Chain A
Amino acid sequence: MTMSRRGLLVAGAGAAGAGLLAGCGSDTGRGGGGAKGAELSQWYHQYGEAGTEQAVQRYAAAYKKARVRVQWRPGNYDQQTAAALLTDSGPDVFEVNGPTLDQIQGGQVVDLTDLLKGVEDDFNPAVLAPKTYDGRIWGIPQVIDMQMLYYRRSLLKDAGVEPPATLDALVDAAKKLTTSKVKGLFLGNDGGAGVLGGTPLYAAGLQLVTEDGKVGFDDPAAARTLAKLHQLYADKSLLLGAPADWSDPSAFVQGLTAMQWSGLWALPQVRKELGDDFGVLPFPKDGGQGKPSVPVGAYGAAVSARGGHQEAAKEFVKWLWVERTDFQEDFALSYGFHIPARISLAKKAAGLRSGAAADAVRFTTDHGYAQPLLWTPASQTAYQDALSRIIRGGAGPEGELRAVVRKVTGELDRVKHAKKPS
């Protein structure tokens, strides 16, 4: 007992000390004019495509008002930034798969609303919404990524299967396409629980979290839809245990599977290997209220609240991600394959006007949903565990979903009552 009391004291003293430090930090943040000479550190996660790192170095070097040091960070980027944000030695500017609600509420990132003044409408609303909390914008979308279903035209034709337009048709198609050598569908080595996430719910006309912050899938339709995913597993139509997971199109282009769920980023490779012998689809709708769905997301540029140069950092972010549309276009289209977050740029992009790429853009506009900000990691874990048990363990979807709804309600409650960002 004495030990824990001492622990408390230590933590308490630490808290007080840190409070003081944080206070100092924000006081010394320079005003707009004082940016000259500041040295900013900017973090990116490691992009797989060649040339991306050189490109971001080039952008940073072109900025004249401050020296920007780019850090290219391989490995578990989300964990690295989360840990770094707890300290003063983290980045000033960083890209983030978020920021998460807890990061916003914890005051770890800076309000960037002013930076977008006048151009908010040019940003794709589907990806800007999850960066917005309490009417303010906390991250500037860089590029849009989305996922969709790739299918092999020749294999479907040989099996006499039409590209599936409903979830039931997908289950049937996957079963018909499965032979001793080729599986019908690849949804990742875990059977789809990880990558699909909320997508089937949106395809059933439901949501993860509603506009007014309630659980969006407390509905019998949810259980019906998720049960069909188990059907895919039970039919043995799913490819499992492939050497490369869903994010890599290898299983698809090597002919291990006739259909695969993967990202837009895989499109160039698929096109190179298969030529015209493939097509893309959104996740097919299910039930009367259903509509097709594709998940969209965007890395956002955010400014750390613990960095010493907040104003300079904001100015840099505005310069790069708002003003320099030439760099934004280059970043989105010259290396990997992404959709620019700016609508005006996406319209200009020639590579996105035909074939499967054009389909992908259309899916994003018509059927795209982004994971809501209120969908916290704890909710995600509870839901994904349940989905995994439903798909692979054959657990009853109703019971599993009831437990998830309870957990998510608790989480939504927690974040609603958490303190507002200052």
Chain B
Amino acid sequence: MRGRRTLWFWAFVGPFALGLALFTYVPLLWSVGLSFFDAHNTVTPTHFVGLDNYTAMLRDDAFVDSLKTFLVFTAFIVPATYVFSLSLALMVNRLEHARAFFRSVFFLPAACSYVVAALVWKMSIFNGVRFGLANTVLGWFGGDPVAWLSTTDPPWYWLVIVTVRLWLQAGFYMILFLAGLQRIDPVLYEAAAVDGARPGWTVLRHITLPQLRATSVAVVLLLVINAFQAFDEFYNLLSDARGYPPYARPPLVYLYYTALGQGQNLGLGSAGAVILALIIAVVTVGQARWLGLGRTDADG
């Protein structure tokens, strides 16, 4: 009996475990291995270089700059998305009618591909010529056309990047918040009203937010990881046939060019990937500890 159970266990789990090992763990370990070799144009290098790739990567201004840029980006996009999607959720949650309609409307962008959204933003809304949508609107107020993605001073490209990301992401996190909001016991609000708490800020601050604690922790965690893994919309907005400009360059985009572009420096690229993975791991673990991931709403 026991033997049969084991057999069935492996029959069901085996294929997935095998797939996971083959397509995730082996490449992962292989990449860690590569990071200790001089691996130009080969995945089976022979020239062991120890930690050279790591020191080279950490001394590489372009890589360190991209890490710094992304700390700043994270510090901005995480609170912005948080506030924006929470506001949407609160608004939709208060609706008496057509709630399902607005929920769907705000969620729809999440179903749009990053690539498609990036191209729409780049080519029709924020293109630099006078007939782009944003420039047409500017023109009504007598403004000069702005080359949104090409201007570095002021860095207008952030406006494009942040708006496309907000548009794509806010709906998804709104759904998470809505689920959280709907689990809050209405009795709490009634009790607060009886105790004289004015609806609005006081209720939000003392009832809604604490009750949303578990959802918030999960949302912030996901947002931070997403921010560090940014690639799609950056690549599609800013890269051209000749490469990627030296600003707003996410670490992953830089590594993509190092390891997989014509450079094919797979050792150096792997070292960068390991460094990035370590940073994400440290940040995530630290954040989970600090915010108390896994505690339930009731504990909060």
A120 CB within 8 Å of chain B: no
Taking a contact as CB atoms under 8 Å apart, the answer to whether B129 and A377 are in contact is no
Within 8 A of A (CB), among B21-39: 26, 29-34, 36-37
Question: Count the B residues whose beta carbon is within 8 Å of the partner chain — how many?
Answer: 47
Q: Is B36 a contact partner of A377 (Cβ separation < 8 A)?
A: no
Q: A241–B132 contact, CB under 8 A? A: yes
Which residues of chain B from 152 to 192 have any CB-CB distance to chain A below 8 Å in the complex? 152-153
Does B291 interact with chain A (Cβ within 8 Å)? no
Closest residue to B245 on the A side, CB-wise?
A388
A residues 85-103 with Cβ under 8 Å of B? 85-86, 98, 100, 102-103
Indicate if A83 sits at the interface (CB-CB under 8 A).
Answer: yes
Residues of B within 8 A of A83 (CB): 260
Give Cα A11 to B38, complex, Å.
12
Which of B43, B148, B242 has most chain A Cβ within 10 Å?
B242
| Chain B positions within 8 Å of A418 at CB level | 40
- The minimal Cβ–Cβ distance linking A305 to chain B, given in whole angstroms, is 11
Those of A74-88 within 8 Å (CB) of chain B: 78-79, 82-83, 85-86
Contact of A195 among B31, B36, B41, B242 (CB under 8 A): B242
Chain B interface secondary structure, helix, strand, loop or mixed?
loop
Residue from B32, B36, B151, B245 in contact with A3 in the complex, judged by beta carbons closer than 8 Å: B32
Residues in chain B near residue A108, CB distance under 8 A: 41
Which label, helix, strand, loop or mixed, suits the secondary structure of the A interface? helix
A394 at interface by CB-CB < 8 Å: yes
* Chain A CB within 8 A of B219 CB: no
Is the C-beta of B246 less than 8 angstroms from some C-beta in chain A? Answer: yes
Tell me whether A190 and B150 are in contact in the complex, defined as CB-CB below 8 angstroms, given that A8-B36, A10-B33, A86-B41 are known contacts: yes
- Determine whether the beta carbon of B264 is less than 8 Å from that of A392: no
Known: A15-B44, A243-B129. A10 touches B242 (CB 8 A): no
**In the complex, A14→B43 CA distance in Å?**
9
Contacts of B241 in A (CB 8 A): 194, 245, 247
Q: Does A193 contact B (CB under 8 A)?
A: yes
- Taking the closest CB of chain B, its distance from the CB of A276, in whole angstroms, is 26
Assess the B30–A10 pair: CB atoms within 8 A: yes
Query: What CA separation (Å) do A106 and B128 show in the bound complex?
Result: 43
Q: Tell me if B30 and A194 are in contact (CB < 8 A).
A: no
Interface segment among A201-209, A339-347, A378-386: the answer is: A378-386
Known: A7-B31, A11-B44, A386-B246. 9 other contacts (CB 8 A): A14-B30, A103-B41, A189-B147, A189-B150, A190-B150, A190-B240, A241-B126, A376-B263, A392-B150
Seen from chain B, the residues whose Cβ lies within 8 Å of a Cβ on chain A are 26, 29-34, 36-37, 40-46, 61-62, 123, 126-130, 132, 147-153, 240-243, 245-247, 257-258, 260-265
In the A-B complex, the 3 residue pairs with the closest CB atoms:
A241-B128, A11-B33, A194-B242
A residues in contact (CB < 8 Å) with B: 3-4, 6-12, 14-15, 17-19, 78-79, 82-83, 85-86, 98, 100, 102-103, 105-106, 108, 181, 188-191, 193-195, 197, 239-243, 245, 247, 256, 376-378, 380-382, 384-386, 388-389, 392-394, 403, 418
Instruction: List 11 contacting pairs A-B, 8 Å CB cutoff, sorted by A.
Output: A4-B33, A10-B33, A15-B45, A79-B262, A82-B261, A98-B262, A100-B264, A239-B128, A256-B129, A378-B263, A386-B246
